[in-house]
Amino acid sequence: MPWKSLLKLPDFGLFRQTADFRLSVSTLRINGILPSRGDVQVQAENLATQVRCHKLDSVVEDISTDRGVISFKVNRKLLFSSTVMKTTISTDEKFGLNSELLNTLKRGTTLVEYSSPNIAKKFHAGHLRSTIIGNFIANLKQTLGNNVIRMNYLGDWGMQFGLLGAGFGQFGSEEKLKQNPLQHLFEVYVRMNKEAEHNEDMKQAARDFFKQLEQHESQAVSLWQQFRQITVDEYQHIYKRLGVHFDIYSGESFHQDQAQEVVQQLQSQGLLKTSEKGTGVVDLSPAGDMNSVCTVLRSDGTTLYITRDIAAAIDRKEKYNFDEMIYVLLFSRDINIDCRCQHVPFGLVQGMSTRTGEVVFLEDVLDEARARMLHNMSQAKTTKEMDNPEDTAEKVGISALLVQDFRGPLLSDYRFDWDRMLQAQGDTGVFLQYTHARLCRSVLKYCYATTFDPSLLLEQTSMTILQHLLRYDEVLYQSAQDLQPKHLVNFLLKLCHLTASAHRELLVKGSPPDVAQVEKKLHQHAILNN
């Protein structure tokens, strides 16, 4: 058992004023570290004596025992210098990143694929989680020193574009395309899809158009390129609102020729077989009896999503020579090139709706978050006058959206709740932003002194904040191991609650100048980590 899991912060009992950490002998006995027999107080005194004799470092100022519990008082000056004094307003140093723990992490080139919406459709809210989770992972990997490649692998190929292309010829309007491009394409696709369900001619027209695309016929390709560019332009507006960017906009279409090469390789290796329906399949059954197959080729010779995806994975490995590739997708693609590929799955968002009804598009969600936040700000008595309240409402609303999503395990479904998400108190993004703004307004602009006496920090509140800040590298390390944002988000939310306690208990105004200065320095450091 790691030693840190055996240490506990003191409770509100006997040792609150004198102890910063305590270690229970009973815990050591339960875990088999100490004999289960004998007097616990005698064992505590013997262990304390051993620790004092070793004098491992200067971190601990005093060790005492009582009723089988060993209490440690930390050297406040050393603790303060290990946290607050490492970061000042004038430095660009990133607190907590240069630690022995983080230096054990492997660094290299990380390719993160996320978002991946389908072109020619408005950005559906269902792609929100992939987008923000992937962006978190990319930011985390970059912060930890990796060379990160951010890739958006668009759904820009396949039979749906046969439906859209043929449908646009039947029902499309250039004028409507200019006025509201994605909405018009969506309407065309829905109408064509409905028609094709009962009209074999329409269905065949869709097949023919997609075959023209695969054969690079200029008219079909020109129309498809127009649809793709319109979509990317629209999406970039949404990504900008979310604070998301990509290094590469890729897509299935980039690998259409390579997909045919994959088919040829499978055929040359004797792996491609023809099913009774005339489709090209690969037998995945252990017994080789075709009871489990993967279809890689339609009966008309056109490729499928999985065919192009295999080609894409091979191409990335050759082009970027990545050390790891991370797919942030709701469902796994079951592609295993080697152990450097990792799939990050996530659950569903339930109950997402606006005042006007069920949400379909992400832009509706962002607009609703901004509108609701703007309303809450106008009703709050503590809201200050600002130059651009809509911009503030936008940023705080999106922060609330992210924090609600990131608080729990990624694989868990969660119920979307507008009221809870936008609360000013509690574990919300609004509270996180409020705490940061309050610190900036009340402390940061007044805190310039570099000389202060950390031994004046006698309150337990100050020690608790410092101890919490020292966990920052552990939180990043844990996030790097399982790629879960909940560790960092919950660390920051707890820091906000500790900061609120410090506002009440560590009063700058009215304190002696030397005490006020060191307390302002502590508040300042909370800002820089918040």
R_g of the chain, CA atoms, integer Å:
29
Pick the closest to residue 148 from 43, 247, 292, 19 (CA basis).
247
Question: What order of strands is seen across the sheet that includes strand 7-8?
Answer: 7-8, 21-24, 69-74, 60-66
Which class for 494: exposed (0-12), middle (13-18), buried (19 or more C-beta within 10 A)?
middle
In the block, residue with structure tokens 């990504």: 239
The answer to whether 141 touches 477, Cβ cutoff 8 Å, is no
The answer to whether 115 touches 131, Cβ cutoff 8 Å, is yes
Strands 109-113 and 324-328: parallel
In the block, residue with structure tokens 């079951």: 334
Integer angstrom CA distances of residue 218 from 119, 221, 258, 370, 373: 19, 5, 20, 43, 48
For 145: left if phi > 0, alpha if psi spans -120 to 50, otherwise beta; the answer is left
Distance of alpha carbon 378 from its chain centroid, rounded?
31
Helix 181-198 to helix 218-242 angle, to the nearest 10 degrees?
130
Strands 69-74 and 60-66: antiparallel
- C-alpha 102/C-alpha 467 separation (Å) is 18
- C-alpha 217/C-alpha 521 separation (Å) is 67
Residue positions annotated with a catalytic role: 121, 124, 127
- C-alpha 74/C-alpha 95 separation (Å) is 21
Q: Render the burial of 431-462: b for 16+ CB within 10 Å, e for the rest.
A: bbbbbbebbeeebbeebeeeebebebbeebbb
The answer to whether 27 touches 6, Cβ cutoff 8 Å, is yes
Integer angstrom CA distances of residue 232 from 160, 225, 228, 248: 17, 11, 6, 12
For 217: left if phi > 0, alpha if psi spans -120 to 50, otherwise beta; the answer is beta
The answer to whether 83 touches 518, Cβ cutoff 8 Å, is no
Q: Which DSSP letter does residue 382 get?
A: T
Kindly give, in sequence order, each residue whose CB lies less than 8 Å from that of residue 34, ignoring residues fewer than 6 positions away.
25, 28, 43, 47
Tell me the one-letter amino acid at 131: T
Both structure tokens of 30? 């339960």
- C-alpha 215/C-alpha 220 separation (Å) is 10
**Which residues pair with residue 224 across a beta bridge?**
none
Tell me the one-letter amino acid at 265: Q
